[in-house]
Chain A
Amino acid sequence: MKTSKFAVYCLVFTIAIAAILRLWRLGSIPPHITSDEAALGYNAYSILKTGKDEYGELLPIIFKSFGDYKPGLYVYLAVPFIAIFGLNEFAVRLPGALAGVIAVYLIFVIVKELLGYRSSLNNSQKELLPTARFSQLAALSSAVLLAISPWHIHFSRGAWEANISVTLTLGGIYLFLKSLKNPRLLILTSLLFALTLITYQGAKLSTLIVVAVLLLTFRKDFAQQFSRRLGTLLVSAVVGLVVVFPIIVGIFRGQAGRLEVFSVFSYPRPTDYLQDFLDQGGENVGNLNYYLFHSETFNFKRGVLGRWFNHFSGRFLFFEGDYQNPRHSVPNQGMLLLTDLIFLIVGISALVKRQDKLAILTLLWLVLAPLPAALSRDQVHAVRSLNMVIPLTLVSTFGVVYLIEWINGLARWLRITGYGFLVIICCLSLRYFIDAYFIHMPIHNARFWQYGHKQVVEEILTSKDGYDKIIFQQSYDQPYIYYLFFSKYPPAEYQKQANLIGAGLDVGLVERVDNIEFVGYSWPPDAKGRDVIIGNPVAVPETFSTGEYELLSEIKYPDSVSTAFRILQKK
């Protein structure tokens, strides 16, 4: 099915919109880079300069970083941009933003492919293929909706590995659909899916879900196509396994500690709480009543189901976003636009009626996509559930398409009113999000973006060598990486002194770079005459001025009221 010229123009326009929304002021909004972004950037810089990561390991697939062992594809994607633009926020974030733009194109071709999909099996030809006009409308709508999706924009703007994983997944899905006609493409499909695993920790489960959903939806076609092409199947499997091999090795070498920290199954009910509850009925662990009504397995299932529900709650999707971690969304705005509330309801009913491959694929994926988040300890988690954005966009797409079809059937004046109404509510909704993202988020949420580290580093950089020691407040914000990043510290120098301490189950900390010491002190710190002390208002309380210290500089948050850091020296 050919795409009409008009549709091509529309698509180009949509992609342009997507690019503007993802690239405009990318370096300064979000207002500060996170420590993960800084780590990805600095490791890329290190690779670029020395071919080794910050610990001196030659071209690793998995980067040790803070002891969280980051899968490394993002680092390698960032290398060329850092080579061109230098080590700065924009260069680190650019791969993510570009991947976001590519995703908009990919969802267009996927929807077109799915709607034009004609099974080679006779028995599933009952339904008529949709018209070219319809499938172009749907494909374009999906591209537009993804381009303006708050959830997708948010995670495109920044070095979020999960977003790269989404784009790779979309590429994988598209190639999978193509491979049902051109079997050799399966090898490439397998490669893309495997790459998601060396991009993002959570992809182990989320990609498995996507592959399972695809195989389930196309089980007959797939079996027919590949039952006689076992060779291709085998090569694909081998390619996939080779790529994910370092991840598998990593699991066995205990580099999956994070998995244990975040899994719900590591957190049973406290025994006191359980026993108090059981005592009310004179029950005990091991009683029949316990197994019937209060068992731990049932409790876990309730917990997982509850978190799964949270990802479909109005609060998360439309009104507050990720209420557990403000860094994952913007103030007073859900993960979706408010208009999606209407589109999703209409869309679900439309998909249920369609019952074609696209409907099955979308609904299955939608149900399973929050699982990686639901199985972890947080009540909601917009990153681990990021894959949801695709099926949600697809459902909304059909909501929009069916509303448009319905409006088309109305009398002329109603038609104009209908279109007008649809456009106006969409624009208002988008306008509200843009306001929340570009105006409010940088001010309102600055502290959640670890704001101030850049300003501190810039402040001390010039005078650093004039002091004996810089005492920088230690924290899991990993201040050392900000120092390395913003001072563009020569990687070869750092590799010699890199020393991560305390990385057991979870992340560790670095305690020293040159004459900068990262110490968790309580006021007053143990400082000598020529030392500089840096800390947030908790570590350096306002009463410092009554003591023997004087203020060198104070870093304010963008609201220019509250203080992020105080830089002091002895009087």
Chain B
Amino acid sequence: MSIKYKIVFLLILGLAFVLRFYRLNDHPALNADEAAVGYNAYSLLETGKDEHGNPWPIHFQSFNDYKPGLYFYLVLPFVKLFGLNEWSVRIPGALLGVGTVHLIFLLARDLSSRLKEDSLLATHFPLLSAALLAITPWHIHFSRGAWEVNVATFFITLGVWLFLKSLYNRKYFVLCALSFVPSLYTYHAARVIVPLLGSGILMIYSNELKKNLKWVTTAILICGLLLSPLAMDMLKPGAVSRAAGVGLFADVGPLNRINEQRGEHQDFDGFTTKVLHNKAVNYGLAFLENWASHYHGLFLFLSGDDIQRNKVPETGQLYIFSLLLLVVGCWSIFRRPSRSWLFIVWWLIVAPSAAALTFQSPHALRAQNMVIPLTIISAYGLVKLIEWGKNSLEDKQLLTTYILFLTAILVWELARYQHMYWVHMAKEYPFSSQYGIKELVTHVESKKDKYEKIIITDRYDQPYILFLFYTKYSPEIFQGGHELTPRDRFGFSTVRNFDKYEFRLINFDTDQPENPGSLLIGTDEEIPDEANVVEEIYGSNGYKYFQVVAN
């Protein structure tokens, strides 16, 4: 690598770093899941148990959603180092996000050497892959925050790269296995994707693998061994409840449709009727439709996920320009198909499989690992576009203009995304994250001593965990003295009170007379105008979230 090349690469990593770390602590506001990660890590450090008193768990009980645990353990050292704050919770995610940018560079470099095409590909392809991933909305969004999926994507990419390495050096097989394993400990979706990806690898590279049977078997055995604690933990009741709660079968639509369809047949009990309309067919079609929805242009290039927490306004998971890059990329792949590309395409096909098994589709979070094959193909398309320019534009100036033009489009797309991210996201989607709670905690803590009881609305998610987080409430006291509510209809539980705090919906007419000497904190709708409002709490986005009433 020449010095110039290294500098460009470092610049790209720098860009990735800035886009992921700038004001990482306060934008967007910390959400309840992130606070849970932080507080449980804190609790482990202080007491060796999680918030509910479970010692060193593999899945964290948290809101009874049993979160896969690896991310919590990644946060642990940062909480030790920097204390319990937003930075410590989010740094591992952002750091591994930058790490993935580095990994995609390495992966693309290996791919280009296997493709044995011309020099332009070998030099530009890895850099462009890294650069595109560095600026991709899908990857930036989930790198900024304690999103377990982003870490899982890191480990999957690491595993894939090490696998390509292992085709040259068989010792890497073990390393490859070692890096796929943690992804399964990090995120539910990886438990579906990695086995599918792995079996694809076994099929596509069966000839090479046969030659190294001993090493491959060792690697698989190690995988099995390392995964057995996870498997044991999954057998416990509760651990898979979250997956079942969002799973395809939780949606009764296809089930009800069976009855409707059979009813429209004259022989509603006949053989043909039953063969055409049954659970297997209807849920199979639902799965396929979900799967296909992840390739819908509207999702990828224009509007992104439906869930506000997962996106910025009016922007897709990728840029609009990526459409052109992907088309050119696929075109070039189809023209010169090779096994390496077959493998990348296979990855692209299986990447949304876990998300398609749930009923909210397309789902940017659960299908995030799609971004890696998509970026690689886009980068390949960009290389081909540049190559086309070099071959057909003889005038040097014209070529420069052409390349500047391509760059300008990307810069504009990045600028537009950043504009949406920093200016519009928090205001357009005020409930996408727990804005306003930090401000509320600061306010309440300063006045706490004056009141006997503080009643806070739980309209938005699980406020108790954010209070624990921001007040750094002693885990030892909390573990002993709290009660987790039964699951609500979405499968989540919460804690209703600790210390002086009580979390529940406010009914002002009854709560006001019943609780003299307490603070009542509710939303604008819950608090009537004539109440004795002593403070209004605004979030960092300028939205009014809470009204504090002194009783």
A318 with B288: CB separation less than 8 A: yes
Is A496 in contact with chain B by the CB < 8 A criterion? Answer: no
A315 with B292: CB separation less than 8 A: yes
Of A8-16, A28-36, A225-233, A435-443, the one contacting chain B is: A435-443
Q: List chain A residues, Cβ under 8 A from B285.
A: 319, 332
B260 shortest CB reach to chain A, Å: 8
Partner of A281, one of B301, B314, B424: B424
- Minimum CB distance partner of B419 in chain A: A293
Contacts A293-B416, A319-B288 known; A310 to B261 CB distance under 8 Å? Answer: no
Contacts A432-B276, A439-B265 known; A309 to B428 CB distance under 8 Å? Answer: no
Q: List chain A residues, Cβ under 8 A from B428.
A: 277, 280
Contacts A277-B428, A319-B288, A439-B264 known; A289 to B296 CB distance under 8 Å? Answer: no
B424 with A280: CB separation less than 8 A: yes
- Minimum CB distance partner of A367 in chain B: B327
Give how many A-B residue pairs fall within 8 Å (CB-CB): 89
A127 shortest CB reach to chain B, Å: 14
B302 with A315: CB separation less than 8 A: no
Q: CA–CA, A348 to B335, complex, Å?
A: 11
Q: List chain B residues, Cβ under 8 A from A293.
A: 415-416, 419-420
Contacting residues of chain B (383-429) with chain A, CB-CB under 8 angstroms? 412, 415-416, 419-420, 423-424, 427-428
Q: List chain A residues, Cβ under 8 A from B291.
A: 314
Q: List chain B residues, Cβ under 8 A from A332.
A: 257, 261, 285
Is A349 in contact with chain B by the CB < 8 A criterion? Answer: yes
Q: CA–CA, A302 to B298, complex, Å?
A: 9
What string of 1s and 0s marks CB contacts (under 8 Å) between A303-343 and chain B?
Answer: 00110111011110011100000000000100000100100
A277 with B302: CB separation less than 8 A: no
A444 with B335: CB separation less than 8 A: no
Contacts A435-B276, A440-B264 known; A305 to B293 CB distance under 8 Å? Answer: no
Is A412 in contact with chain B by the CB < 8 A criterion? Answer: no
B264 with A349: CB separation less than 8 A: no
Partner of A440, one of B261, B302, B334: B261
A305 with B337: CB separation less than 8 A: no
Q: CA–CA, A57 to B337, complex, Å?
A: 62
Is B303 in contact with chain A by the CB < 8 A criterion? Answer: yes
Contacts A292-B416, A440-B264 known; A315 to B296 CB distance under 8 Å? Answer: yes
Is A220 in contact with chain B by the CB < 8 A criterion? Answer: no
A323 shortest CB reach to chain B, Å: 11
- Minimum CB distance partner of B272 in chain A: A435
A314 with B289: CB separation less than 8 A: yes
Q: List chain A residues, Cβ under 8 A from B420.
A: 293
Is A133 in contact with chain B by the CB < 8 A criterion? Answer: no
- Tell me what chain A mostly uses at the interface: helix, strand, loop, or mixed: helix
Contacting residues of chain A (404-448) with chain B, CB-CB under 8 angstroms? 431-432, 435, 439-440, 443-444
What string of 1s and 0s marks CB contacts (under 8 Å) between B262-287 and chain A?
Answer: 00110000001000100000000100
Contacts A292-B415, A293-B419, A332-B257 known; A313 to B265 CB distance under 8 Å? Answer: no
Q: CA–CA, A542 to B302, complex, Å?
A: 46
Partner of B298, one of A289, A313, A352: A313
Is B320 in contact with chain A by the CB < 8 A criterion? Answer: yes
A309 with B298: CB separation less than 8 A: yes
Q: List chain B residues, Cβ under 8 A from A305.
A: 297, 301-302, 320
Is B295 in contact with chain A by the CB < 8 A criterion? Answer: yes
Is B331 in contact with chain A by the CB < 8 A criterion? Answer: yes
Q: List chain B residues, Cβ under 8 A from A431.
A: 276
B361 shortest CB reach to chain A, Å: 10
Partner of B289, one of A302, A315, A443: A315
A349 with B289: CB separation less than 8 A: no
B298 with A306: CB separation less than 8 A: yes
B292 with A314: CB separation less than 8 A: yes
Is A528 in contact with chain B by the CB < 8 A criterion? Answer: no
B335 with A352: CB separation less than 8 A: yes
What string of 1s and 0s marks CB contacts (under 8 Å) between A264-305 and chain B?
Answer: 000000000000010011000000010011000000001001
- Interface pairs (26), CB distance under 8 Å: A281-B419, A292-B419, A293-B415, A293-B416, A293-B419, A293-B420, A302-B302, A305-B297, A309-B297, A309-B298, A309-B302, A310-B296, A310-B298, A312-B297, A313-B293, A314-B291, A314-B295, A315-B289, A315-B292, A315-B293, A319-B285, A319-B292, A341-B288, A341-B292, A349-B334, A435-B276
A contact set with B: CB distance below 8 Å: 277, 280-281, 289, 292-293, 302, 305-306, 308-310, 312-315, 318-320, 332, 338, 341, 348-349, 352-353, 431-432, 435, 439-440, 443-444, 559
A-B pairs, top 8 by smallest CB distance, nearest first, are: A314-B292, A309-B297, A281-B423, A280-B427, A352-B334, A349-B334, A319-B289, A313-B296
B contact set with A: CB distance below 8 Å: 257, 260-261, 264-265, 272, 276, 285, 288-289, 291-293, 295-298, 301-303, 313-314, 320, 331, 334-335, 337, 412, 415-416, 419-420, 423-424, 427-428
